[in-house]
Structure 1
Amino acid sequence: MAAGPIFSLHFIVFFAWAGILLPFLPVYLSERGLPEATIGLVLAFTPWARFIVNPIVAPLADRRGLGRELIVGMTGLAIVGSALFFLGDPLIALACLLLAVGTAPIIPLGDALAIQRAEAGELDYPKSRLLGSIAFIVTSYLAGVLLDAYGAMTVPIASLVFTIGIALVAVYLPRGRPEPSAQTKNPFASFKILLRPRIGRVLLAAILIQASHAALYNFGSLHFRNIGMSDSTIGALWGLGVAAEVALFAFYPRSVSPVTMIRIGSAGTLLRWIVLAETSSFALIALSQTLHALSFAAVYLGAIAFISEEIEEKNTATGALAAYGGGLLMALMIPFSGWLFEHFGARTFYGAAALAILALLSLFGVHSTARVPAASSQASAR
């Protein structure tokens, strides 16, 4: 099969799975009787898996060209995890652990394979990733409709179906090209780059903003349910956020400097969390979802542009952003957000707002004359 269609199908199936699990796994866990603090502990498996598993798996795939085989094998763990949801409450934590470990490396491995083919002129990588984002938007809404009609068991059923689909599609992905010089990455190696005063302040701001999403990603749907929204409405809100993100990737102003882009994104993040903490108005919450274009896309674009323009160790800097923003700090923030949500409800988002304030303070006095370059793809994580 040609590279373009099979990679497009790979991204479509994976992000269709994510469009169901990201909004609605917390809902399923809540309906199974888990308190919010426990949900936070269980959902923290995912960023821990990113932080620990990905730096081990990715270089193995690079050195031996085993990206396709590792996607199939790791997805096998996710299939087992999805199946365990049907075997009773005592296995829920194990199910979530296997699901987290199994799915954590799929996007980095798939991206690496896709980029190899794109560099060979066999694939339009941004188009394939865009189709994945569209799949997320569609399935997040459809999942909400199905939850309204059939209940929370829709979530494990969909997870099992789509993880099987991911594995089946991965069998037909092209083999990776071995890179014998690739070295195993130490997840702590990138910490040194954060110690450089100016560079560290900019990357720290992006990391703080990324981690501030812990409350929304893991308890946003429960909050929306608590204020009376239907699951179909919740799914539509998630889709709206991703649509806004895609729009900014397509139309962002390239004349804006990276630091300014991060600063604007951080200010938008602060506004977003304050709105969620203070209102139950559907119109204002929908508006806050469009701010995902700033809280995620603008900060991500600014950080990648800053790395591209001003940091020599680009892979190390990008690794720091992923390891500490989407990994370590997110893993710490999710259980804390769960405890806050159990005791304070919507005011949990003030904790997220505090991280946005810290990000803005980190950027105080930092200047940049570089400009944001053209984006080559959609962001690989959210």
Structure 2
Amino acid sequence: MARLRPLLAFLALYAAMYAAFGTASPFWPRYFEARGLTPQELGILFGLGNAARLIAGPLANRIADIFGALRVTLAVCIGIAVAATLGLAAVQGVFLLLIVYLAQSAGLAPITTLADALAAGASVREPGFEYGWVRGAASAAFVAGTLAAGQVLGVFELDAIIWMYAALLAAALAAAALVPEADTRAERAADPVGQSVIGGLRELLDLPTFRRIVLIAALIYGSHAMHDTFSVIRWTAAGVGTAASSLLWSEAVAAEVVVFVLVGPILLRRLGVAGAAALAAVAGILRWVVEAETASVWILALVQPLHGITFALLHLACMRVIASSVPTHLAATAQALYAIGPGLATAGLVWVSGQLYGAYGPPGFLMMAGLCVLSLPLVIGLRERPPSPD
């Protein structure tokens, strides 16, 4: 039973966090609209919220590494998010809603990357611990949270989102106290340069394997930009109905869960990180070429499960590389940079996708396939560093 405690603690943490995200994420625009915000004010609110996340996430992760306090930082940030979420129900007016929402955004920003740093570290220390099981539970919990919120909002007012979100985050806060954390005091003492804000960043960026995995992730994750933005538009124009589009999206999410929990760990053991990343790139090439050529529901139904490879399997490979090749006392900072690199690439590629789709229509998906092709040479020679013997 003692061997299962770390896994159970992380399962509880991820399930609560991602169920909270699923509960609220689709409905925040409706909630703030019901509070009287205009479309222009909604744009300002969410735009500034994203800016707050970009600043607060890396900053909190860097502080966590410097003090060797990932779990404490995670708990503090979740606590801020809980308090700010409850505060949304208590304040009135655009200005106060904006201030409280910014506090909530700042609190939420680092919690997934801090949790990933803790869980990825546990995956190389704890016997029988599979990161994929934890992350798969998170994806399933997100879907469950969204479905539950839809049912609840069919009965109660939009304010129910606040209470569901706060309750689930409070459960995540309780679970955060139970997850294990590596002791990095010796590493931090031996690396005074890595203890400075800039020194730690420079040390990470000097690691060729880390730079390579971030670039691979930026190319392959970024290749999803056109699909995420224009696939339903493309399908609808080709006569695919709303119900079929919903099923196609659900199929992709289901494949993600299956790969995280079942298929991914097996493929990672058999293929290694280089083989897994190469398979993700090839799956992306196939997926986007098909999207460029056809909108047949039956053919799309065959390629949508490739999302489990292009996203979930690649994420497992990235976590394995980061956990095994990045010094433990820089783990949270590494997760922040890993999130920012592909995130910025995707943001830029959303704009590029709009230009391509507007100019060329569905053949624009071939450009996304090209990004996956570019990632293939980077995969050659990619490997994880074996854990050091105790």
Please confirm whether the aligned pair reaches a TM-score higher than 0.5, indicating the same fold: yes
Per-residue deviation, residues 111-143 of structure 1 (Å, max 9, x unmatched): 566678888869956555554444234324333
Change (3 A) 1:343 1:193: same
How far apart in 1 are the matches of 2:211 and 2:134?
33
Aligned match of 2:169 in 155, 160, 163? 163
Shift, 1:215, TM fit = 6.8
Aligned match of 1:207 in 218, 242, 245? 218
Per-residue deviation, residues 16-75 of structure 1 (Å, max 9, x unmatched): 123334555567678865469755664454454433321222432x2xxx4444333211
AA aligned to 1:179 is: T
Which stretch has the larger CA shift, 279-288 or 289-298?
279-288
How far apart in 2 are the matches of 1:140 and 1:228?
21
Map residues 63-82 of structure 1 onto 2, 5 A cutoff: 66-82=69-85
3-state SS of paired residue (1:368): coil
How far apart in 2 are the matches of 1:205 and 1:317?
20
AA aligned to 1:54 is: N
Q: Is the 8 A contact 2:293 2:363 kept in 1?
A: no
Q: Is the 8 A contact 2:84 2:101 kept in 1?
A: yes
Map residues 57-206 of structure 1 onto 2, 5 A cutoff: 57-60=64-67, 62=68, 66-86=69-89, 87-91=92-96, 93-110=98-115, 124=129, 126=131, 130-146=136-152, 155-170=161-176, 172-173=177-178, 179-181=184-186, 182=188, 183=195, 186=198, 188-189=201-202, 192-193=205-206, 200=211, 203-206=214-217
How far apart in 2 are the matches of 1:29 and 1:341?
27
Provide structure 2 residue ranges, at least 5 long, that are not aligned to the other structure.
189-194
How far apart in 2 are the matches of 1:297 and 1:315?
23
Q: Is the 8 A contact 1:244 1:290 kept in 2?
A: no
Q: Is the 8 A contact 2:223 2:371 kept in 1?
A: no
Change (3 A) 1:133 1:97: same
The reply on whether 1:367 has 2:387 as its aligned counterpart is no
Aligned match of 2:370 in 342, 345, 357? 357
Map residues 16-31 of structure 1 onto 2, 5 A cutoff: 16-22=19-25, 25=28
Please tell me the root mean square deviation across aligned C-alpha atoms, in Å: 5.3
Which stretch has the larger CA shift, 146-155 or 14-23?
146-155
Give the total of aligned pairs. Answer: 365
From the CA coordinates, give the structure whose radius of gyration is larger: 2
Map residues 239-258 of structure 1 onto 2, 5 A cutoff: 239-246=253-260, 247-252=262-267, 254-256=269-271, 258=273
Q: Is the 8 A contact 1:141 1:233 kept in 2?
A: no
AA aligned to 2:371 is: L
Change (3 A) 1:46 1:271: farther
How far apart in 2 are the matches of 1:92 and 1:214?
30
Corresponding residue of 1:55? 62
AA aligned to 1:293 is: G
Shift, 1:270, TM fit = 4.6
Provide structure 1 residue ranges, at least 5 long, that are not aligned to the other structure.
374-382
The reply on whether 1:261 has 2:264 as its aligned counterpart is no
Q: Is the 8 A contact 1:8 1:128 kept in 2?
A: yes
Change (3 A) 1:116 1:17: same
Per-residue deviation, residues 256-279 of structure 1 (Å, max 9, x unmatched): 354343233124335545667888
Q: Is the 8 A contact 2:81 2:107 kept in 1?
A: yes
Shift, 1:80, TM fit = 3.2
Q: Is the 8 A contact 2:52 2:102 kept in 1?
A: yes
How far apart in 2 are the matches of 1:177 and 1:365?
31
AA aligned to 2:276 is: M
AA aligned to 2:219 is: L
AA aligned to 1:252 is: L
Q: Is the 8 A contact 1:15 1:136 kept in 2?
A: yes
AA aligned to 1:77 is: I
TM-score by length of 2: 0.65
- Tell me the percent identity: 22
How far apart in 1 are the matches of 2:226 and 2:270?
32
